Structures are given as structure tokens and as C-alpha cells.
Amino acid sequence: MRNLWIFISRYNAFFLFIIFFTIGIYLTVKNNSYQRSVTLNSTNEVVGTAYERLNIFKRYLNLGMVNDSLAAENAKLKSQLLGLTTIDTAKDVKVIDTVTNQDYTYLAAKVVKNSITLRNNVMTINKGTIDGIKSGMAVIAPQRGVVGFIRDVSEHLATIQSLLHKDTKISVTLKKNNALGSLVWGDGNFDIKKSFIKEVPNHIKMYVGDTIVTSGYGSFPKGILVGRISKPNVATNDNFLSGEVNLFTDFSTLQYVYVVKYKKAEEQKALESAVKPNE
Amino acid sequence: MNSRIIIVNVIRWFLLLFVQIFLLKNMGFYDLSTPFIYVLFLLLLPFGIPNIVLYLLAFGTGLTLDAFYDTMGVHATACVVLAFVRISFISISLNRDAIDDPEPSLGYMGFQWFSLYAFLCVISHHLVLFFLETFRLTEVGYTLMRCGLSCIFTLLIILLVEFIFYRRTPR
């Protein structure tokens, strides 16, 4: 102990230096916003990289769970298929909607390129004209939720103008009272989990948690689940209400989508084009 | 004698900080070269000063500068580094028992020793100061250039002041 004291007092200049230097650095980082932000950012970067690594590892651990949910979904779909009148070709599954007597077929496609970070997002799937895909067809997510419309088609591939696009507008209704509205994305809020329902008439009451489904007026079949209201009754300048919607679709993890083929699409289009807009 | 040293140093402290804060703070060449003349006060403190007092004075002077420069802690840290370099250099280059000069000034110690002493102290002070101010290594070239040019500027002024105010005394 005595030797330690002798050692410290002999090199007191160095130890005092360490003490004062530490105090100085501490004061610098604590009191200067720039230096503090740099310190925090570099720490965050280290932590962030560590988390990223961990995430890659965790994804593998989650594979089992993902498989289970896929298998469960498969089983559910198969049992539903048995209950419906189906004609099972190799690729297409024909679903006959007995209520409105429209028939839609669903075609599974794999997403080969996805984008979610841009203002206007477009994704690519591995099905094209050879599989009967045409521009304007609706695309829905595997479990629940909407994805967008087919935009351009080549022989083996097609691009989807996703909901996360400024031109995409989907006709939707509130499930409880069939009030019409349209679903758009990115009105000052580019959160990929949030969207907006607009043009809802003023007298309609929206509440948090109300379910939004497709109206069936566009290329989407009626009653596809879209999302839930998270912020209702946002007043706009016009005579309509808006609301913020939490989407069911998770665009960031989308692997497979279903392209909806509407058998009477062309017939309907031809008929409706006969009506001039300003007639 | 002792009280005279204290009074001289107190006056020097006020004078140098006054010049630094009110005159040199507004000077700068293309934002590259800024002189920090106030370190002369720390350079000229008497030889016999205890280390702890030296560190406290350095830290206090730095903090005073920081208050005016609005850079809490940057100058204080740089001054502490300067104090460490001063102690190390003096203990290496001079025999502690044979020191009979009151303070390490140009007049007492001669040009060669003093200029090396001033150079080492000033460059360490400036290096710490500018790197703490920039606080990143990506602009290292620019920071080093600022540091080098400021160092030259500071040294020139320090030598100038020394030559003006101290008459050479025969050793």
C-alpha cells in the first residue's frame, strides 16, 4: 500500500493529467450539442450494427414459425376449397361468388423485386402474359390486405403499382355500414403501415378499430380486408371526411401475392366506356 | 519576492485573457489560422509551482476561455494537455535541483530552449483543441492544416511578446 502511494505521488503529474483530462472531455461532450450528437451517433451506429447482425441470426430462428403459419394457412385454404365449388386447374383456382355471381380466379405469384422506401413504389412478380395476366388486375396479399394493381406486363414478368404509389386509389367501404371511400397512401405520411381513407361522406361516423374492406366496384372483389381505422374523422377542406388506416398488408415482408383475375373485366370495361363522362 | 511573482502572474493572466478574448477572438485568416496567445500565461508560470496547482490553473484558465468562446470544456482539456507536456518537458530537459531561474521565459532560458519548449506545448494544445472542436476524423487533413497554421501564428506572437518584454539576462 505504501509503495502504491509512493508510485502515485512520484508520477502525480500523469495521474492528475488523467483526472483533469477526463473531466475536460466529460464537460466537452456533456455541454456541446454537436460533440454530444457525434458521440451518441457513433454509439448508435455500433449498437445498430450489432442489432442488425442479431436480426440476421434471429431470422433463421423464426423460420420454423413462418413455416408453421404458412402450413396453417395452406390447410385453411384447402378446407375452404373443399367447401366451394371449385375447378382446380394446375395453376388457377376458380372461386365462384354465388352472391353477386361474379367469378374471380386467384393466381399466386412470387415477388421478385419489392420497394417500399420511395414515394411511388413498384414491385415485380414472376408471372406475365403467359399466365394470363393483364394490366389493371388487382393484387392482394396472401393472408389479408390489398397490394395494388398490375401495371405493365411482359411475357414472364409483371410490375405492380403498389398501394404505396401516388396514383393508386382503391375503392373501399366501411364494413359495418358500407359507406364508400377511397384508399390512398402518402398524404404527408410515408409510413408503409398507414394509409388514408378519403372522401367518406360527412354524416358517416367512423370509430377507431372500424374495419375497412374493398367495395367491389373496381377490379378488387368485394370484401377483401384492407385495414382498421386508427385515427377517425379527420376533417378536410371539402365536404368529406378522412381517416387514418392501419393496413393489414405488411409491404416490407411481402413474399407472395395473389393476382385477382376478374372474368368479366373486359366486358365491364367495354360497357362502361360507352358512357361518356360528361354526358 | 514571492508576492511579486503572484502579482506579476495575476496581471499577466488578466492582460493575456483580455487580449485573447477582446482582440484575437475576432481575428482569423480565412478561418484557418487563429492565434491562442493566452497559453503564454501557462508557459510562463514559475518553475517551483506544484503540479496540482498548475493543473488547476490550466483547467481554470481553459474554462474561462470556454465561457467566452462558448465551447464548454474544449479549451480546458487542451490546457490540461499543455500542462502535462510542460511538466514532462521540464522534467526531461532540466535538472530539477539545478534550476535557479524563477520562470521558464525567453530571457532566462535562452532562445533555443524556450522556442522548443513553446513549440511542444503550443502544438499539443492546438492539436487537442482543434480535434476536440472538430470531433471527427474524417476532416483530418483540414483540421491538421488549421492546427499547423494556428500553431505557427501563436508561436510567432509568443516569441514577439517575449522579445519585446524580456531583456536578456546573462546566465
CA distance A276 to A264: 20
Most confident among A115-124, B65-74, B123-132 (mean pLDDT): B123-132
ipTM: 0.82
Q: Inform me whether the C-beta atom of residue A12 falls under 8 Å from chain B C-beta atoms.
A: yes
For an interface test with B, the pick among A18, A19, A32 (most B C-beta atoms closer than 10 Å) comes out as A32
List the one residue out of A188, A127, A182, A189 whose CA is nearest residue A160.
A127
In a domain, A217, yes or no: yes
d(CA A276, CA B12) in angstroms, rounded, equals 93
What is the mean pLDDT of the segment spanning A130-135? 86
Q: What is the DSSP letter of A88?
A: B
Assigned domain for A168 exists:
yes
Q: Give the span between the Cα atoms of A133 and A127, in whole angstroms.
A: 7
Q: Do A20 and B58 touch (CB under 8 A)?
A: yes
Chain B residues close to A28, C-beta within 8 Å: 71-74, 77, 132
**DSSP category for residue A68:** H
Place of cell 394490366: A135
Size of interface A-B (CB pairs under 8 A): 65
Q: Is residue A144 part of a domain?
A: yes
Integer Cα distance of A29 and A31 in angstroms? 6
pLDDT of A88 reads 42
- Residue A190 clears pLDDT 70, i.e. is over it: yes
Using a CB-CB cut-off of 8 Å, the residues of chain B touching A18 are: none
Residue A14 touches chain B, beta carbons under 8 Å: yes
Compute the mean pLDDT over every residue in chain A, rounded to the nearest whole number.
Answer: 81
Q: Which helix (H) or strand (E) holds A138?
A: strand A138-140
Distance from CA of B127 to the nearest CA of A (A): 14
CATH number of domain containing A93? 2.40.10.340
d(CA A6, CA B74): 32
Task: Give the nearest chain B residue to A28 (CA atoms).
Answer: B73
| Residue A51 to chain B, least CA–CA distance (Å) | 24
Would residue A76 count as lying in a domain?
A: no
Domain total for chain A? Answer: 1
Question: What proportion of chain A, given as a percentage, has pLDDT over 90?
Answer: 1
Give the minimum alpha-carbon distance from A41 to chain B in angstroms, rounded to a whole number: 12
Domain presence at residue A75: no
**CB burial class (10 A; 0-12, 13-18, 19+) of residue A24?**
buried
Q: How confident is the model at residue A250 (pLDDT cuts 50, 70, 90)?
A: confident
Q: The pTM is what?
A: 0.50
The nearest alpha carbon in chain B to A37 belongs to B135
A48-92 pLDDT, tens per residue?
788 788 888 877 887 888 888 887 788 778 767 766 644 444 455
Q: Report the distance separating Cα A150 and Cα B112, nearest Å.
A: 82
